[in-house]
Amino acid sequence: MAFYYKPLSFLILATLLLSRISFSEATKNGGVTVDLIHRDSPLSPSYDPSTTHFERLRSSFRRSISRQSSLRSASKSPDSFEATLTPIGGEYLIKVSIGTPPVEILAIADTGSDLTWTQCAPCTQCYKQKAPLFDPTKTTTYRSVSCTSQQCQSLGPGSSSCGRSNGCLYQVSYGDSSYSNGDLAVETLTFNSSTTQESVAFPKVVFGCGHNSGGIFNETGSGIVGLGGGSVSIVRQLETTIGGKFSYCLTTLDSKVSSKISFGPSATVAGPGVASTPLVKKSPDTFYYLTLEGVSVGNEALAYNFIPNSKSKASVEEGNIIIDSGTTLTFIPSSLYNELESTLKKSISGNPVSDPQELFELCYELPSNGEFSAPPIIAHFTGADVELTQESTFLEVEKGVVCFTFVPSEDLAIFGNLHQMNFLIGYDLENQKVDFLPTDCSKPQ
């Protein structure tokens, strides 16, 4: 049978293919930088203008509590494959295209997950999404992965099985009882650079083509882009290509400018003012562990493992806190929090009030001039002293009420995204370090 095609369709396909460049070509311009869209930003398709600023804040705080619980469960059971996702979607969304010709999806960018997946046709059971399902029959670069392949084995115990024709099936479950099951495959992923406007293609990336997904997902998102430290995350899969480097710069909550995430040479964080701290290898390897040695309030330093009524300080455990872009608040051990709160109370001259939502333990009435003053707070990571902005440590959570945005925790400590805003933060997996550089993330870096 002769093969016929429509000239116009062929022309469109050829144009799409020619407009994409390889990452090796993109490195001439420093790599690739992509927009990160906060789910509560007016730039997000899930933005609800009928909700108030304070209602959106409260929702993000509640998601933090749920996510911390989810992350805690995964950290205690590293041998079971349980990904970590906040209910009702993550905090940041990223646009990525899959296949040839490329089909754009909007997915959750998650440093607490490894496997990248999207919902695919045909779908046995799928949560509702606004965008069309990705159809693997309409791409020329889709390839299934066999059960005996290294890619399939890298998913870990209990997370893969054999389907028909020896195809690898993946199963992921999340701490909020959400899940996704489907075929493991390789495909071309394409990012549209927000700085050069070029489409940068990464071939043969392992991803999940989900045919059975459910739970508490937002209909604006089509899946997950896994940015964790595990072997199947896109950061690890592209490690030799991007040099094991990615960075992001998170804008403040009221910014009208998108946050940015970079991969490759442009993700290098260097120059005056950079503070570097080691990444600590622990299980599960999905999470990025740092060592927090203490916190300072003004000139008064507080040890991390503060023990009341003890003349000596306990030694600091390495990798005692994870840095996570998907958690808004910062969680620290109750012993350190209590000492921190006590020191702040002595340093702040204001009118204490209760948090109307009973989430935060230290709140003050916002002065009539709108200016609240608190001493600087410095997080002392190993080798890196990171001074946090007052705009993030004390936040107006209700009209006229400002609260301290650290939360006591009895177990898992998390350095949240609220205290990462207006820092260029670089992850260097080859040299096992995280770099912090204070900057205005709303301006070009």
Which of 35, 114, 183, 324 is labelled catalytic?
324
Sequence-separated (6 or more) residues with CB below 8 Å from residue 270: 435
Which of 35, 110, 114, 428 is labelled catalytic?
110
Give the separation between CA 282 and CA 229, rounded to whole angstroms: 10
Nearest CA among 293, 261, 298, 264 for reference residue 277: 293
Known active-site residue 324: yes
Cis geometry, peptide bond prior to residue 42 (ω within 30 degrees of 0):
no
Q: How many Å from the N-terminal Cα to the C-terminal Cα in the chain? A: 56
Paired tokens of 4 = 């016929």
Known active-site residue 183: no
Q: Among all residues, which ones are annotated catalytic?
A: 110, 324
